[in-house]
A and B are shown apart, each in its own frame.
Chain A
């Protein structure tokens, strides 16, 4: 799915100036809110965790804002419009994944940790090695996710602003990156969270209006809508699985592998985990996941209607011929329904989506570097006053610049590959250690390190030698073929391997971990004793 093709045909439908104006209004409004929200950004708890002052409902919207990226919105609508049912399979995986986050991770993490994923993983294990490993995998996951969003921005620009030459697109990517740096630098977690909340409301309302519109055109009858989609497509195959994946045994296995990565990756995405620290208690963390599940679930049902709506009203051929390819399905549908005004609104929402997700990723990566590497490892837990936040802000600038350069370089690359890689890496490198350290008393440092490095390394190696990188018509590198791993997603191998390595490393470990820390972690995680309190200003 989600291929933001750089090659373009005709110019953008609608009015680029209007699109820009609506997006500009969004930036102006959110900027004011970010500045107001940033007044109390004094301590690390303020900067990384928004003083732990958000309510469960607010955080739920912010989680949905973080999670419903451009790939979810534009990518899934486009995938359903073109490949039919197979696009729907993605959204189901993205949603069911939240059960793992809700039941196994959110509350225990909130009770145990402070700012980052590493706080929990290193709680009862050896601090330095585990923190370094957790920080590395956090940075890798954030980097691929960032790259995907920034690369997506280029494709969007082509479609929405009618900018087709690469230089112009690069300028827009740089502007998006610079805006994001400003948000995160000024607003910290509080500002970033407000941007997410506003964007989530806009996205869900915008998609909801379009959904009701499409259903109204079809007499509020799903069957009628599907009927017209089949009529436009000329085949009933778009209603059943198999158009994109079900061709061969290999592609079936590939889909299973992707499904595994999607369903196990979410609860291990560092930027999602970090959101649980922005609420005052574990109970609020639970409420935020519940809100997020409702919002995300309803949104994915919307995308089903929108996808088939686009298939019915516009048709796969016209969508693929439009600049931006599959990703143009949602904007084209907006234009078809509500003309250039609705297109402008939907375009602004799509831009806001990229901006907000990139901001969330950046603050996560910066927190991980300054809290886990700088403060905990380099300064051995005793950084000078104020230094940690200062380092975090500098890291934001560095990450922002890396994201801009990476985004310009990755412009036109397959966004699905980068997002799926981020999920696969998160599921392989982080999830086994999160689960083991929360639920398995014997788990040791050696097990954690084997699992994290083994999962991270195997995921990256398998991807490098997969058809995604070389040896296929759609590969990143053309003209050479060094692929030996036949699947485009490594999850089916790397996730079980990481679980196995975590077990093996533990049973072969002659050292045992502190029983006192284990007792403290168990009691804290379940009861919330000594959990970080919210900051009063």
Chain B
């Protein structure tokens, strides 16, 4: 590996046709669809959820200051719920990737690696 710096036209040992062919294959298109249909909407929802929290903090501080139990108020609970949703999204993604993405990614990779020998 050493100092082989950049481009490496054939870094993966596969020719362009193989990649074009794979890219157009039904199996790969399905994998890409499964990946994108999860990560893009989930990221968007997380960012919107965070932005609404920031906007509430900025523009509705009285709402955030309402006590819920004891001294613990809406703002602190909403902040902690951001932590909880972040954890939840993380675990959901891991289980989704294990079940729906990894198997077909591995299958495509192994087929390609067997096809044109090893790198």
**Chains A and B are bound partners:** yes
* A460 within 8 Å of B (CB atoms): no
Q: List 26 A-B contacts (CB under 8 A).
A: A43-B1, A44-B3, A45-B2, A86-B57, A89-B57, A89-B79, A96-B82, A98-B90, A99-B90, A223-B71, A236-B65, A246-B61, A252-B58, A255-B54, A260-B51, A263-B50, A286-B97, A381-B6, A516-B16, A518-B23, A522-B28, A522-B32, A523-B22, A529-B112, A530-B12, A530-B119
A99 contact from B6, B54, B86, B108, Cβ within 8 A: B86
* A293 within 8 Å of B (CB atoms): yes
Asked if A294 and B82 make an inter-chain contact with CB atoms under 8 angstroms apart, the answer reads no
B5 contact from A239, A242, A388, Cβ within 8 A: A388
Asked if A99 and B43 make an inter-chain contact with CB atoms under 8 angstroms apart, the answer reads yes
B57 contact from A241, A293, A516, Cβ within 8 A: A241
B46 contact from A99, A260, A527, Cβ within 8 A: A99
Q: B-contacting residues of A (Cβ < 8 Å)?
A: 43-45, 85-86, 88-89, 92-93, 95-96, 98-100, 102-104, 119, 122, 127, 131, 221-224, 226-227, 230, 236, 239-242, 245-246, 252, 255-256, 259-260, 263, 283, 286, 289-290, 293-294, 297, 300-301, 304, 371, 375-376, 379, 381-389, 439, 515-516, 518-520, 522-524, 526-530, 532, 535
Asked if A256 and B119 make an inter-chain contact with CB atoms under 8 angstroms apart, the answer reads no
CA distance A240 to B97 in the complex (A): 38
Asked if A239 and B97 make an inter-chain contact with CB atoms under 8 angstroms apart, the answer reads no
CA distance A132 to B107 in the complex (A): 36
Per-residue CB contact flags for chain B residues 27-50 toward chain A (1 = under 8 Å, else 0) read 010011001101110110011001
B6 contact from A85, A131, A260, A385, Cβ within 8 A: A131
Asked if B70 and A529 make an inter-chain contact with CB atoms under 8 angstroms apart, the answer reads no
Contact residues in A for B31 (Cβ distance below 8 Å): 526-527
CA distance A286 to B91 in the complex (A): 11
Asked if B83 and A530 make an inter-chain contact with CB atoms under 8 angstroms apart, the answer reads no
Contact residues in A for B91 (Cβ distance below 8 Å): 290
Asked if B3 and A301 make an inter-chain contact with CB atoms under 8 angstroms apart, the answer reads no
Query: Which residues of B (43-93) have their CB < 8 Å from a CB of A?
Result: 43, 46-47, 50-51, 53-55, 57-59, 61-62, 64-65, 69-73, 75-76, 79-80, 82-83, 86-87, 89-91, 93
Contact residues in B for A300 (Cβ distance below 8 Å): 83
B94 contact from A286, A379, A386, Cβ within 8 A: A286
Asked if A527 and B73 make an inter-chain contact with CB atoms under 8 angstroms apart, the answer reads no
Known A96-B50, A256-B55, A263-B47: A515·B75 in contact at CB below 8 Å: no
Asked if A526 and B28 make an inter-chain contact with CB atoms under 8 angstroms apart, the answer reads yes
Known A104-B43, A263-B47: A297·B5 in contact at CB below 8 Å: no
Contact residues in B for A131 (Cβ distance below 8 Å): 6
Asked if A246 and B58 make an inter-chain contact with CB atoms under 8 angstroms apart, the answer reads yes
The 5 A-B pairs with the shortest beta carbon distances in the complex, nearest first, are A530-B12, A223-B70, A240-B65, A226-B71, A375-B5
Contact residues in B for A96 (Cβ distance below 8 Å): 46-47, 50, 82, 86
Q: A-contacting residues of B (Cβ < 8 Å)?
A: 1-3, 5-7, 11-14, 16, 19-20, 22-23, 28, 31-32, 35-36, 38-40, 42-43, 46-47, 50-51, 53-55, 57-59, 61-62, 64-65, 69-73, 75-76, 79-80, 82-83, 86-87, 89-91, 93-94, 97, 102, 105-106, 108-109, 112-113, 119
Q: A223-B71, A240-B75 are in contact. List 14 more A-B contacts (CB 8 A).
A: A88-B76, A93-B54, A96-B46, A99-B46, A100-B47, A127-B7, A222-B71, A227-B70, A297-B83, A375-B3, A388-B5, A522-B28, A526-B28, A526-B32
Contact residues in A for B65 (Cβ distance below 8 Å): 236, 239-241
CA distance A286 to B105 in the complex (A): 14
Asked if A528 and B19 make an inter-chain contact with CB atoms under 8 angstroms apart, the answer reads no
Asked if A252 and B59 make an inter-chain contact with CB atoms under 8 angstroms apart, the answer reads yes
Contact residues in A for B106 (Cβ distance below 8 Å): 527
CA distance A78 to B3 in the complex (A): 45
Contact residues in B for A221 (Cβ distance below 8 Å): 70
Contact residues in B for A297 (Cβ distance below 8 Å): 83, 86-87
CA distance A530 to B113 in the complex (A): 8
B80: nearest chain-A partner, CB-CB = A301
Contact residues in B for A93 (Cβ distance below 8 Å): 50, 54
